[in-house]
Structure 1
Amino acid sequence: MTDALLVLNAGSSSLKFRLFGLTPDLPVIAGGKVSDIGGRPVFQAAASGEAPRALPPHIDAGKALAFVLDWLKQAAGQARLRACAHRIVHGGPDFLHATELDRAAVDDLRRFNSLAPQHQVHNLAAIEALWAQDPRLRQFGCFDTAFHAHIDPLHYQFALPKSLRDKGVRRYGFHGLSYAWIAHRLAYDHPALAKGRVVVAHLGNGASLCALKAGRSIDTTMGLTALDGLPMGTRCGALDPGAVLYMQQGLGLSLEDISDVLYNQSGLLGLSGVSNDVKTLLESPLPAAALALDYFALKTAQQIAAMTVSLGGLDGLVFTGGIGENAAPVREKILHHLAFLPPFETHIIAANEERQMALEIMTAFYQETVS
């Protein structure tokens, strides 16, 4: 019987999963996703040839998870589930590596729900749902903030009073699981470059940059929350804080309305008035669609240049994420803006946060064995 590790990435309306064999090569046993949870959910197994399957309308995340677990019992054969790893977006200042979770840890992580409202509550709900299904199963958290935990104060502090900085108002950075995977792949595939100065552009519906020096995070564009930095699919990116004050004090918007604008109505969607989907925007004849893509490329290039300052130069640029891997016209626009820089390598590396999580948990199990 094969020991197995389940990796879950739970969102507001989706549940992505992958089952790995708990051996050093981490073979993929099964995987897939449930999409449109709360609406008309559809289950899709990965690379199995199985047709998409409609699930009962308006099922909640807990029932979607129960369906996945039942499906895995049939699809995974003799695999014995030993543990589950969850992607958790915000680990704050204390969760610095993959951590086995108990009730106290989950309660502690709820402190950051308001700092990652599109993600954190759903990440934690999946943990509770799995406890309800199998209270004895070991569960681990893998944190998007952890990869940036050791950046210098020069790069993580805000120019705010000490009283606020002491309460954790600082830059944390996100997409750390993606960046850790890229650093891992660079070490194997491009070892000379991995020792140098690399900017990684994780470009998708959520987008950010990370400055890597010898494989370690030196600087990053996201901040206290996942709103800062690059413009994204529906998120605004860097914004004059005075604009937020004006929305409330001058325009009379409530805090809830402002939050909805900044997280759900801005970015590519807000600029184009068409869509947050890059493929749709590339195919659109509307000037506003072109403007949105041009803005995204310009701001990304500008912030790559800022990361280059943090690194003291640039040896390589890596594109990853849905846009970074698949939208060649966007990559070309970004590189055009950077043509003034001395020559640097450019690579496209597929994101694989699920395997990175599995590697982290495999390390945790190994440390248990040898301790």
Structure 2
Amino acid sequence: MKILVLNSGSSSLKYQLFEMPNEQALCTGLVDRIGLEHSSITHKTFFKGKESKHQVELAIPDHEGALLRVTELLKDPKVGVLKDNTEIEAIGHRVVHGGEQFAATTLITEEVKAKIKGLFALAPLHNPPNYLGITVAERVFPQAKQVAVFDTAFHQSMPALAYRYALPKSMYTDLGIRAYGFHGTSHQYVSKKASEYLNNSKAKIITIHLGNGCSMTAVDSGKSVDTSMGLGPMGGLVMGTRAGDIDPSIIFHLINERGFSAQEVNDILNKKSGLLGLSGLSDMRDVKNAITEGSPDAKLAYELYAYRIQKYIGAFAAVLKGLDAIVFTAGVGENDADMREAVCKNMDFFGIMLDTKLNRAGNKNIREVNKSSSAVKILVIPTNEELEIGQQTFELIRK
């Protein structure tokens, strides 16, 4: 069975085609800068262990045009992997926010689409392009079953103690104000891989997803019991351009005492804070280069980023009432050995003891980077959100 996975952003479209149930990736790609004059497509195919890469620049006006171009590439005699559109039996869509309505992967109907649309206010930057991707795929692949996989679904197992805020009850019951959490597909995938590696289905695990957006999740016996992001994806850890946790009184001080508008404050917290706000640089690689050049601001940004992760490890270890493993994943988590070292520094009292040599050994597979004497396993696990979406889509439609 061939399953296409789509991740629609505001100006991009990521895709991956899997042969299920053997989980073989046939191709993967990215359509970038949709709606701009110089759009681009990067298309990779995999055959007998060899990767072939095809890139092209052209004007792509909208998401429908992007998906049509992807379809052409999938069937292209030279770089394609399909003979016909009808070979695709299902399409798994990443949808960022499912609210309380969706706690599991769901077959898309008109009613489901209406509910996704009704959640636009909770994820204004993400749900609209996700929804658009669904409507376009329905037109381009009318024979395929359309399936929604929600970033928030994995966190629906959190207890009220974790997801409720200490606000008037009506704000929850009437307005849906609560913690939903994000990056759920990534946290679910790597925590599942960690449990398999540990051969312990009841493992207590902290997953640490570090990319441009960052979040952590406490996982007990395969279920999310707490997570660092809340109503939206701004809270918790320091991120590339997002502030993470702040004192809410800062917002009102800026608006009431300093004359900022609510929109200006939102832009500051979302787009001008985090690593960028502290150092002037949003990419961790650039921050590290600035440190080597002697920038005190970059050094503070790097250390504050690690410090916040350490705080959440302490908090989530208390929530879990024990700890079997911590897992680093995503761009920074998988590739930045210095950051893993900074996070694990002086954590011996927690049973977290990093092996510096193992930590610096390059490897794309799941690996331990802890000392043999460490009570807590320190794992690096490459995330694969597209594969998780493909797996969940396959499990749903084969029933």
**What TM-score results when the alignment is normalised by the length of structure 1?**
0.93
Gaps of 5+ in 2: 46-50, 352-374
What is the percentage of aligned positions where both structures have the same residue? 35
Aligned-partner Cα distance in 2 for 1:104–1:256: 32
Partner residue in 2 for 1:59: 61
Partner residue in 1 for 2:137: 130
Alignment of 1:54-93 (within 5 A): 54-56=57-59, 59-74=61-76, 75-78=80-83, 80-93=87-100
Q: What is the SS of the residue equivalent to 2:398?
A: helix
The one-letter code sitting in structure 2 at the alignment partner of 1:25 is N
Partner residue in 2 for 1:366: 398
The one-letter code sitting in structure 2 at the alignment partner of 1:344 is V
CA shift at 1:250, angstroms?
A: 2.0
Aligned-partner Cα distance in 2 for 1:332–1:244: 34
Aligned-partner Cα distance in 2 for 1:255–1:114: 16
Q: What is the SS of the residue equivalent to 1:257?
A: helix
Aligned-partner Cα distance in 1 for 2:124–2:343: 30
CA shift at 1:152, angstroms?
A: 1.0
- Counterparts in 2 of 1:51 and 1:362: CA distance versus 1, 3 Å: closer
Aligned-partner Cα distance in 1 for 2:262–2:63: 27
1:179 corresponds to which of 174, 187, 199: 187
Aligned-partner Cα distance in 2 for 1:282–1:190: 33
Aligned-partner Cα distance in 1 for 2:272–2:346: 27
Aligned-partner Cα distance in 1 for 2:195–2:125: 32
The one-letter code sitting in structure 2 at the alignment partner of 1:362 is F
1:220 aligned to 2:227? Answer: yes
- Counterparts in 2 of 1:344 and 1:187: CA distance versus 1, 3 Å: closer
1:282 aligned to 2:288? Answer: yes
- Counterparts in 2 of 1:337 and 1:35: CA distance versus 1, 3 Å: farther
1:307 corresponds to which of 301, 309, 316: 316
Q: What is the SS of the residue equivalent to 1:149?
A: helix
Aligned-partner Cα distance in 2 for 1:246–1:108: 36
Q: What is the SS of the residue equivalent to 2:225?
A: strand
CA shift at 1:88, angstroms?
A: 0.6
Partner residue in 1 for 2:306: 297
Question: Is the 1:9–1:86 Cα contact (8 Å) retained in structure 2?
Answer: yes
1:324 corresponds to which of 328, 333, 345: 333
Residues paired across the two proteins, number: 361
Map Cα deviations across residues 230-284 of structure 1 (whole Å, 9 max, x no partner).
11111111111111122222222223222221211111111111x2111111111
1:38 aligned to 2:43? Answer: no
- Counterparts in 2 of 1:66 and 1:256: CA distance versus 1, 3 Å: farther
Question: Is the 1:301–1:337 Cα contact (8 Å) retained in structure 2?
Answer: no
Map Cα deviations across residues 269-315 of structure 1 (whole Å, 9 max, x no partner).
11111x21111111112221221111100011111111111001222
Q: What is the SS of the residue equivalent to 1:29?
A: strand
1:190 corresponds to which of 198, 207, 212: 198
Map Cα deviations across residues 152-202 of structure 1 (whole Å, 9 max, x no partner).
11111100111112131111111110111112212332213x422110001
Gaps of 5+ in 1: none
1:141 aligned to 2:148? Answer: yes
Aligned-partner Cα distance in 2 for 1:45–1:196: 38
- Counterparts in 2 of 1:10 and 1:212: CA distance versus 1, 3 Å: same
